[in-house]
Chain A
Amino acid sequence: QVQLQESGPGLVKPSETLSLNCTVSGGSITYHYWNWIRQSPGKRLEWIGYIHSTGNTGYNPSLKSRVTISMDTSKKHFSLKLSAVTAADTAVYYCASALFNGGSLYFDSWGQGALLTVSS
């Protein structure tokens, strides 16, 4: 099972761009889909999007206009950029690996999460 570790600034100002990185260890980066998921203080989970090592991406339609997910396969890490942040983007951000199998998608490993606060 892969291990994932998020890293990021912790605090971002309103209207700026949030950047987070996720480092993958303990497995191949070519098999899974690599995701970002966030959890608001109210605890609801929200999927942000995924990237595959082929470059294929998928985004939550509600966030698509502000999100970019990229990947550096040689360094085994992938990144999230979320632009024009507001207080509503304050959340714990998780990176997670996902498997597609027979029409299902499920997250088999999660990072420990990175708290990101949007505040001036």
Chain B
Amino acid sequence: SYELTQPPSVSVSPGQTATIACSGDDLQNMFACWYQQRPGQSPVLVMYQDDKRASGIPERFSASNSGNTATLTISGTQAMDEADYYCQAWDSTTVLFGGGTKLTVL
């Protein structure tokens, strides 16, 4: 079955730029979106339709989708950004999720 692949973990220093990748063979033909999940909480939509920021999401969050890789970028990363991040796409019949990336801010 088709899968989206994410790195299990990414580390970043406060104030630096964090980049989280999501790869899939046909991802360039789909729209990608991203969710943030803090410990003990439900996922929250961060980015949708490749590069659109969801309501209430800070401008330091951005995203792109090119080739077979979608990328979430967090500029000026803050301690509050430490969370799990999941990519997701729709292949016209099924919802696909990546395995999630734990972002550590240290």
Contact surface of A with B, Cβ cutoff 8 Å:
1, 35, 37, 43-47, 58, 60-62, 94, 101-108, 110-113
Contact = CB atoms under 8 A, between A and B. Distances in A.
A34 B44 CA distance: 16
B61 interface: no
| Residue from the set A101, A105, A106, A111 with the largest chain B CB neighbour count within 10 Å | A106
Contact of A43 (B1, B44, B48, B100): B100
A52 to B, nearest CB: 14
12 contacts: A1-B55, A44-B99, A44-B100, A61-B93, A61-B94, A103-B92, A104-B31, A104-B49, A105-B90, A106-B45, A106-B49, A110-B42
Given A101-B49, A106-B90, 19 more contacts: A35-B95, A44-B99, A44-B100, A45-B97, A45-B100, A46-B97, A47-B95, A47-B97, A60-B94, A61-B1, A101-B48, A103-B31, A104-B33, A104-B48, A106-B31, A106-B33, A106-B88, A111-B42, A113-B42
A45 B93 contact: no
A104 B43 CA distance: 18
Given A110-B44, A111-B42, A105 B95 contact: yes
Interface of B: 1, 30-31, 33, 35, 42-45, 48-49, 54-55, 84, 86, 88, 90, 92-97, 99-100
A27 to B, nearest CB: 14
A45 B86 contact: yes
Given A60-B95, A102-B31, A104-B31, A45 B43 contact: yes
A110 B1 contact: no
Contacts of A46: 97
Contacts of A102: 31, 49
A37 B86 CA distance: 13
A110 B38 CA distance: 13
B8 to A, nearest CB: 10
